[in-house]
Amino acid sequence: MALLTRSRRRLQSSAPFLIVILAGAGAAFFIIPLLGLLLRTPWTSAWQQFGSAEVLAALRLSLLASVSATAIALVLGVPLAWTFARLAFPGRSVLRALTVLPMVLPPVVGGVALLLAFGRRGLVGGWLATTLGIHLPFTTAGAIIAETFVAMPFLVITVEAGLRSMDTRFEDAARTLGASRWTVLWRVTLPLVRPSLIAGAVLCWARALGEFGATITFAGNFPGTTQTMPLAVYLALESNPDAAIVLSLVLLAVSLAVLIGLRDRWLGAS
Amino acid sequence: MTLEARILARVGDFELDMELGLSAGELVAVLGPNGAGKTSLLRALAGLLPLSGGRVTLDGAVLEDPAQGIRVPTEQRPIGLVFQDYLLFPHLSVLENVAFGLRARGMARTPANREAGRWLDRVGLSAEGERRPASLSGGQAQRVALARVLALNPALLLLDEPMAALDASTRAEFRRDLRRHLESFRGVRLLVTHDPLEAMAMADRLVILEEGRVLQSGSPSEVTQHPRSRYVADLVGVNLFRGRASNGLITLAGGGSLTAVAGPDGDVFAVVHPRTVALYRTRPDGTPRNIWEGRAADLDLEGDRVRVRLSGLPSIVAEVTPVAVRELGLDRGDRVWIAVKATEVNVYPA
Amino acid sequence: MRARLVAALLVAIAVGLVSACGPMAPVSASQSGLNGTITVFAASSLNAAFTRIGADFEKRHPGTIVKFSFAGSSSLAAQIQQGALGDVFASADQPNMQKVIQAGLTSQMPIVIARNDLEIVVAKGNPKHVEALADLARSGLVVVLCAPAVPCGHYAAQTLQKAGVSVKPASQEADVKSVLSKVALGEADAGLVYVTDVKSAGNAVEGVAIPPALNVVAEYPIVILKDSQNRALARAFVSYILTDGRQTLARYGFTNP
Contact assignment for A187 to B100 by CB distance below 8 Å: yes
Query: C77 to chain A: nearest residue by CA?
Result: A238
Quick one: pLDDT at residue A264? Answer: 67
Mean pLDDT of all residues in chain B? 89
- Average the pLDDT over B118-143 and give the result: 92
- Average the pLDDT over A173-183 and give the result: 95
Contact assignment for A178 to B152 by CB distance below 8 Å: yes
Residue C140: CATH number of its domain: 3.40.190.10
Rounded to whole angstroms, how far apart are CA atoms C141 and C120?
13
Is A116 in a helix, a strand, or coil? helix
Chains C and B touch (3+ CB pairs under 8 A): no
Instruction: Give the pLDDT confidence of A9-58 residue by residue, as tens digits.
Output: 555 557 788 999 999 999 999 899 888 888 877 777 766 766 677 788 89
Quick one: pLDDT at residue B288? Answer: 66
Quick one: pLDDT at residue C5? Answer: 44
Using an 8 Å CB-CB cutoff, list chain B residues near A173: 81, 83, 87, 89
Pick C174's closest partner by Cβ from A137, A138, A234. Answer: A234
Instruction: Give the pLDDT confidence of A99-112 residue by residue, as tens digits.
Output: 989 999 999 999 99
Contact assignment for C172 to A222 by CB distance below 8 Å: yes
Interface residues on B facing A, Cβ-Cβ cutoff 8 A: 43, 46, 48, 73-77, 79-81, 83, 87, 89-91, 100-101, 104-105, 148-149, 152
Asked whether residue C149 falls in the same domain as residue C168, the answer is yes
Residue bearing the bigger pLDDT, A266 or B207: B207
Instruction: Give the pLDDT confidence of C47-67 residue by residue, as tens digits.
Output: 989 999 999 999 999 999 999
**Residue C243, in any domain of the structure:** yes
Contacts of B209 (CB under 8 A, 6+ apart): B18, B30, B31, B32, B36, B37, B38, B41, B192, B215
Q: Which chains sit next to C, with 3 or more Cβ pairs under 8 A?
A: A
A226 reaches C (C-beta below 8 A): yes
**Residue C179, in any domain of the structure:** yes
Quick one: pLDDT at residue A159? Answer: 96
Mean pLDDT of all residues in chain C? 85
Residue bearing the bigger pLDDT, B142 or C11: B142
**CATH fold for domain A45-267:** MetI-like fold (1.10.3720)
Quick one: pLDDT at residue A13? Answer: 57
- Average the pLDDT over B33-42 and give the result: 91
Quick one: pLDDT at residue C32? Answer: 65
Domain count across chain C: 2
Establish whether the linkage from the previous residue to A153 is cis, with ω within 30° of 0: no
Contact assignment for A172 to B74 by CB distance below 8 Å: yes
Asked whether residue C90 falls in the same domain as residue C129, the answer is no
Out of A239-248, B226-235, B314-323, give the one with best mean pLDDT.
Answer: B314-323
Residue-range definition of the domain harbouring residue C173: 118-209
Ordered structural domains, chain B, with CATH:
2-88+136-234 (3.40.50.300), 237-349 (2.40.50.100)
Domain locations in chain A as residue ranges? 45-267
Query: B45 to chain A: nearest residue by CA?
Result: A176
- Average the pLDDT over A167-190 and give the result: 95
Is B267 in a helix, a strand, or coil? strand
Mean pLDDT of all residues in chain A? 87
Asked whether residue C103 falls in the same domain as residue C122, the answer is no
Percent of chain C with pLDDT over 90: 61
pLDDT for B258 beyond 50: yes
Contact assignment for B89 to A177 by CB distance below 8 Å: no
In whole angstroms, what separates CA A227 from the centre of its chain? Answer: 18
**Residue C7, in any domain of the structure:** no
Asked whether residue C147 falls in the same domain as residue C170, the answer is yes
pLDDT for C137 beyond 90: yes
pLDDT for A270 beyond 60: no
Is A99 in a helix, a strand, or coil? helix
Does ipTM surpass 0.85 in this model?
no
Asked whether residue C126 falls in the same domain as residue C106, the answer is no
Asked whether residue C66 falls in the same domain as residue C193, the answer is no
Strand order in the sheet with B2-11: B14-23, B2-11, B53-58, B61-65, B70-71
Confidence of residue C134 (pLDDT cuts 50, 70, 90): very high
Quick one: pLDDT at residue B168? Answer: 74
**Residue C91, in any domain of the structure:** yes
CB C177 within 8 A of CB C198: no
- Average the pLDDT over B120-139 and give the result: 92
Contact assignment for A194 to B81 by CB distance below 8 Å: no
Alpha helices in B123-195 (DSSP H): 138-150, 171-183
Three-state helix/strand/coil letters over C42-66: EEHHHHHHHHHHHHHHHHHCCCEEE
Using an 8 Å CB-CB cutoff, list chain B residues near A177: 75, 100-101, 104, 148-149, 152
Quick one: pLDDT at residue C152? Answer: 87
Confidence of residue C16 (pLDDT cuts 50, 70, 90): very low
- φ/ψ of residue C121, rounded to 5: -105, 135
Contacts of B51 (CB under 8 A, 6+ apart): B7, B8, B9, B44, B64, B66, B71
Q: Which chains sit next to B, with 3 or more Cβ pairs under 8 A?
A: A
Pick C78's closest partner by Cβ from A137, A221, A241. Answer: A241
